[in-house]
Amino acid sequence: MVTLYDVARRAGVSIATVSRVLHGKEPVRETTRARVRAAIEELGYVPDGAAQSLARSRKDVIGLVCVEHTGLKPNQYDIESMSLLFYDEVMRGVEARIRELSWSLLITFLREDENSGATLPEDEPVAPRLLALSGKVDGLLIGEGVVPQPVLARLAKRVPVVVVAGDTAQRGVDVVSADNLSGAHALVEHLVADHGRRRLFHVDGPATAPDAAARRVAMQAVIEAHPGTLLTGSYSGRFTVHSGQEAAERLLADTQAVGRPLPDAIICANDQMAIGVVRALTARGVRIPEEVAVVGFDDIFPASLTDPPLTTVHQPMRKIGERGCDRLIERITDPSLRPRIELLPAELVLRSSCGCPSGTVTRRQVAPIIRRKPTNTVKLPSPTQRVAPVTLPDYPASSTRLPDYAGRAGDLTNDEILER
């Protein structure tokens, strides 16, 4: 029997697009609509009673699992214990997609202590809350760093799973993520090469966050590539405004205690921490960017409202939600699909916190980084990008490995790593 997925595959579109064409919903380009209709006619697809019965046997619900941070200070905003603005945008993308299909979204937060980043033994049961949730939905979208790999692999055998903003070295599951490595590399390169900032301080993200790891490795690569550039120190934050404030306050106290100058630039693993850094520095009379440049990552809306406005990297958060949802629906429809990684291109957003002219905003498409390996070389994001790729064959020795985009020939072929 011809299925909705067969039509989508023949037309080269998502099943959400096929559904919009069938129900006469907008927006669908006329050329795409014609292609879908041609595929329907060619395959003889008819949404007959059997197909409708199959659809009704589903719950028409997908779950989104995010992390709830633990160990927060008593004066921290409650909203940040459960939500990051990054995930708020991802949720909007997911919601937009499932609304088109008349499905529902079930959102849950797992505490970090419910699923720690430690490696679990093979016989460890799937976390009870995840197991209970998997029985209420047709599939799960799981946020980066929420579920450790052994649990994730076993969970994927029970229910369709797609990881959003996850580890691109993940095996056995679909991953949709922004190109963190290329984005962070472009950001730090701009600070060092364009503004001459050579003494850097890093406000890192949680150890369990793959996004933070990729951004850290990119920063290290730029430092190695520019002799005389050094990392003066780092602080392990939690992606929250409060941890950014705490990082800056500790940095100010430490430099004052030993009589050292402040760094030239503070590189934050996300915008919320960068906002906290800006608040703390401003409260102490430190001029940004004259004395210290501050940059973030994500391009959440409040980043444009700081004083000075924040230089950052835009990652397409809503698009990550949309594409993650599309892939999950595809996997629910056809569980036999091979896992794939989909990387979405990032964009450098230059405002004045880095030293660029005040009152200006410049957006630069990020050059994709190619990591060359002897056996299986994969060029990562968009083939439509009109910028020269950056080749980084040799990374500095580090406890944090470069995310192995190209070295999984046994699991993923080049065709299964999508270029957007």
As a whole number, mean pLDDT of residues 70-79 equals 51
CATH number at residue 89: 3.40.50.2300
Is 266 part of any domain? yes
Residue 22 is assigned to a structural domain of this protein: yes
Cα(85)–Cα(77) distance, integer angstroms: 13
Q: Are 175 and 412 in contact (CB under 8 A)?
A: no
Residue 160 pLDDT greater than 90, yes or no: yes
Using pLDDT thresholds of 50, 70 and 90, give the confidence band for residue 70. Answer: low
Q: Which residues contact 368 (CB under 8 A, 6 or more apart)?
A: 179, 182, 345, 379, 380, 381, 382, 385, 387, 389, 390
Mean model confidence pLDDT for the chain: 79
Look at the block and give the residue holding tokens 């996004």: 211
Q: Tell me whether strands 312-314 and 265-268 are parallel, antiparallel or unpaired.
A: unpaired
* 415 domain-assigned: no
Return the CA Rg of the chain.
22
Q: Is 51 exposed, middle or buried (0-12, 13-18, 19+ CB in 10 A)?
A: middle
H or E element, residue 22: helix 15-22
Does 83 have pLDDT greater than 90? no
Distance CA 346, CA 298 (A): 9
User: How would DSSP label each residue in 270-323?
Assistant: SHHHHHHHHHHHHHTT--TTTT-EEE-SB--GGGGTSSSPPBEEE--HHHHHHH
Question: What is residue 70's three-state secondary structure?
Answer: coil
Residue 114 lies in a domain: yes
Q: Are residues 189 and 135 in the same domain?
A: no
Q: Does residue 178 sit in helix, strand or coil?
A: strand
- Per-range mean pLDDT, top range of 100-104, 112-116, 198-202, 392-396: 198-202
Burial label, 118 (beta-carbon count in 10 A; 0-12, 13-18, 19+): exposed
Are 174 and 186 found together in one domain?
Answer: no
- Of the listed ranges 1-5, 43-47, 310-314, the one predicted with least confidence: 43-47
Amino acid of residue 23: H
Q: Is residue 414 domain-resident?
A: no
My answer on whether 392 and 247 are in the same domain is yes
Q: Which of 169, 277, 148 is nearest to 217 (CA)?
A: 169
Answer whether residue 190 is part of any domain. yes
More reliable by pLDDT, 24 or 250: 250
pLDDT for 322 equals: 94
* 146, pLDDT greater than 90: no
Tell whether 110 and 244 lie within a shared domain: no
Domain membership of residue 417 (yes or no) is: no
Assign residue 18 the CATH number of its domain.
1.10.260.40
Whether residue 46 sits in one domain with residue 21: yes
User: pLDDT digits over 274-318, tens only?
Assistant: 999 999 999 999 999 999 999 999 999 999 999 999 999 999 999
- Residues 113 and 151 grouped into a single domain: yes
Q: Are residues 233 and 329 in the same domain?
A: no
CB neighbour list of residue 407: distance below 8 Å, 6 or more residues apart: 373, 375, 376
Q: What is the C-alpha separation between 79 and 96, in angstroms, rounded?
A: 23
Q: Please tell me whether residues 111 and 133 are part of one structural domain.
A: yes
Confidence tier at 80 by pLDDT (50, 70, 90): low
pLDDT tens for each residue of 368-418: 876 544 332 223 333 333 333 444 433 333 333 333 333 222 233 333 444
Q: Are residues 360 and 219 in the same domain?
A: yes
Task: Provide the token pair at 402.
Answer: 């470069």
pTM attached to this predicted model: 0.73
How many angstroms separate the CA atoms of 290 and 312, rounded? 18
Is the model more confident about 208 or about 408?
208
What pLDDT is attached to residue 115? Answer: 47
* Confidence tier at 121 by pLDDT (50, 70, 90): very low
Query: What token pair was written down for 61?
Result: 């619900």
Note whether residue 252 is domain-resident.
yes
Instruction: Please check whether residues 199 and 283 belong to one and the same domain.
Output: yes
Most confident stretch, 51-60, 87-96, 250-259, 289-298: 289-298
Which among 53, 68, 85 is the end of a domain? 53
- Most confident among 154-168, 182-196, 333-347, 374-388 (mean pLDDT): 182-196
- Quick one: 82 and 154 in the same domain? yes
Per cent of the chain over pLDDT 90 is: 48
Q: Is the dihedral of CA 88, 94, 100, 105 positive or negative?
A: negative
The domain total for the chain is 3
| Start-end of H helices in 102-190 | 128-134, 149-155, 180-189
Parent domain of 214: 180-315+349-407
Residues 241 and 369 in one domain: yes
